[in-house]
Amino acid sequence: MPIATTNPTTGQVLKSFEAMSAEQLDAAIERADLAYQRLRDTTIDQRGRWLTAAADLLEAERDETARLMTSEMGKTYAAAKAEVTKCATACRFYATKAAEFLADEPADAGAVKATRAFIRYQPIGPVLAVMPWNFPLWQVMRFAAPALMAGNTGLLKHASNVPQTALLLEDLFRRAGFPEGAFTTLLAGSDAVDPVLSDPRVRAATLTGSEGAGRSIAQIAGRELKKTVLELGGSDPFVVMPSADLDRAAEVATTARCQNNGQSCIAAKRFIVHTDVFDAFAERFAANMSALRVGDPMDDTTDVGPLATERGRDEVHAQVRDAVDQGATVLCGGEPPARDGWWYPPTVVTDLRPEMRMWSEEVFGPVAGLFRVSSYDEAIEVANGTTFGLGSNAWTRDPREQERFATDLDAGNVFINGMTTSFPELPFGGVRNSGYGRELSALGMREFCNVKTVWVGEGAASAGAGAHAE
């Protein structure tokens, strides 16, 4: 894939970049390693001041950053501005909370025959971050803010279609005051991941992206015995039960499916509706989807902009065609307009069957699959019936059902009567083929820490360290 900004609204290439040479990659890793030696010796307070400065810069430069993101991947300007603000919030969160998250954690010294025992969280070194284009700032920031605060350094291999946002991030952390090399953008294709991750100076990797990329990076990391966090795809269920507030559910369903032009890992993708309310929900949902305004993402009245790449648009349409050719029914949308750029209309498809791609695959565009079920148990069976397990949503006013959904949905998160989203305060991640590990909260920060056990005996007492060395 060429490293270039191609405006999805017009299909025009705006700027191209040369991939870095092996020597340039090596020099970047060396800088990241040297910066790590410096960063780990700085105080949390100092790192917090730098991260706060990054938040200030993000807020001051919000509009131009948002404009750049929109030109690279087509999200609406309004959504891009909100993304920049969210990144600033996450920076402030980690700048404030890192001292608490990284504080020594006392253990029960008596139980382990010590005079003192505790857990110490320490940085591990340069971490490779392989990132997607769909939230080009936020996906990176939710790795970078906790990693830098912990004293690690970052090497970013961003998606090839958002090189300018990638460079902006490196520049942001430099201007905020972090040492040279603390956060470096590698302008490189996916073929660079193996040599970079194999380098002994690089200690771990995090990937947000597709299942295929996850498998590839996990294989390299397995060979090299390196820690990974994988945030992969999802086909989140959105279950609607008879007691749900249907108007609200149909309104939120529309946003949950079409936010970010339908290109979000935690977008609701499969709408699983109890037969008692199926027709009423389907009517409201299809009407809401049809009413969305598709158009220039820079226009404030636009709800849905173009898809980020031509290949992505073609893939979404192939999934819809596959279902329709096998007998599925299109309630709205389903045909891309003939115009420059990579557009796809908000679409609802029902009468799906297991042999259709839409039944089990992730659809990365504004296309909803609508499923009819006749009981709670059937809703759970369909909801859990893919290989994914990222987010999930259930709509019910019945407290007993709410409790059951929280337990029975096999996913990294369950949102009841609301749509899945991410907060710096809450852990984020998936199970099954949606990946492993967690981002955000204290857990996200500790993923790339050495969780060090410290046991202190009394001089050469019989319960000394040697007695417990295993």
Catalytic site positions: 231, 265
Return the beta strands (E) in 182-234 as ranges: 183-185, 204-208, 227-231
* Continuous H helices in 364-454: 376-383, 399-408, 441-446
The number of beta carbons lying within 10 Å of the beta carbon of residue 402 is 17
The secondary structure of residue 128, as a DSSP letter, is: E
Beta bridge partners of 367: 347
Please report, as residue ranges, which positions from 138 to 197 form the binding site for ligand NAP (by CB under 6 A).
Answer: 139, 157-160, 189-190, 193
Q: Which stretch binds ligand NAP (CB under 6 A): 13-21, 31-39, 163-171, 209-217?
A: 209-217
Nearest in space to 140 (alpha carbons), one of 113, 170, 178: 170
| Residue 191 Cβ vs ligand NAP, minimum distance, rounded to whole Å | 8
| Residue 307 Cβ vs ligand NAP, minimum distance, rounded to whole Å | 11
Nearer of residues 160 and 288 to ligand NAP, judged by Cβ: 160
The secondary structure of residue 428, as a DSSP letter, is: B
Return the beta strands (E) in 181-264 as ranges: 183-185, 204-208, 227-231, 236-240
Nearer of residues 221 and 328 to ligand NAP, judged by Cβ: 221
Instruction: Confirm or reject binding of residue 420 to ligand NAP (CB under 6 A).
Output: no
H or E stretch covering 330: strand 329-332
Instruction: Confirm or reject binding of residue 213 to ligand NAP (CB under 6 A).
Output: yes
| Residue 212 Cβ vs ligand NAP, minimum distance, rounded to whole Å | 6
Instruction: Confirm or reject binding of residue 136 to ligand NAP (CB under 6 A).
Output: no
Instruction: Confirm or reject binding of residue 249 to ligand NAP (CB under 6 A).
Output: no
| Residue 435 Cβ vs ligand NAP, minimum distance, rounded to whole Å | 6
Please report, as residue ranges, which positions from 30 to 49 form the binding site for ligand NAP (by CB under 6 A).
Answer: none
Show the tokens assigned to 108: 């029960």
Q: 136, 73 in Cβ contact below 8 A?
A: yes
Kindly tell me which residue out of 74, 132, 297, 345 binds ligand NAP, with binding defined by CB under 6 A. Answer: 132
Nearer of residues 3 and 53 to ligand NAP, judged by Cβ: 3
Q: 107, 40 in Cβ contact below 8 A?
A: no
Q: Is 454 helix (H, G, I), strand (E, B) or coil?
A: strand
Strand order in the sheet with 183-185: 183-185, 153-157, 126-130, 204-208, 227-231, 435-436
Report the alpha-carbon distance of residue 173 to residue 58 in Å, rounded.
10
Instruction: Confirm or reject binding of residue 91 to ligand NAP (CB under 6 A).
Output: no
| Residue 439 Cβ vs ligand NAP, minimum distance, rounded to whole Å | 7
Please report, as residue ranges, which positions from 101 to 130 form the binding site for ligand NAP (by CB under 6 A).
Answer: 130
| Residue 441 Cβ vs ligand NAP, minimum distance, rounded to whole Å | 14
Nearer of residues 431 and 465 to ligand NAP, judged by Cβ: 431
Q: Is 23 helix (H, G, I), strand (E, B) or coil?
A: helix
Please report, as residue ranges, which positions from 445 to 464 form the binding site for ligand NAP (by CB under 6 A).
Answer: none
Q: Which residue is nearest to ligand NAP (CB)?
A: 209
Instruction: Confirm or reject binding of residue 360 to ligand NAP (CB under 6 A).
Output: no
Nearest in space to 131 (alpha carbons), one of 159, 170, 161, 171: 159
Binding residues (CB under 6 A) for ligand NAP: these are 1, 130-134, 139, 157-160, 189-190, 193, 208-210, 212-213, 216-217, 231-234, 265, 362, 364, 390, 430, 435
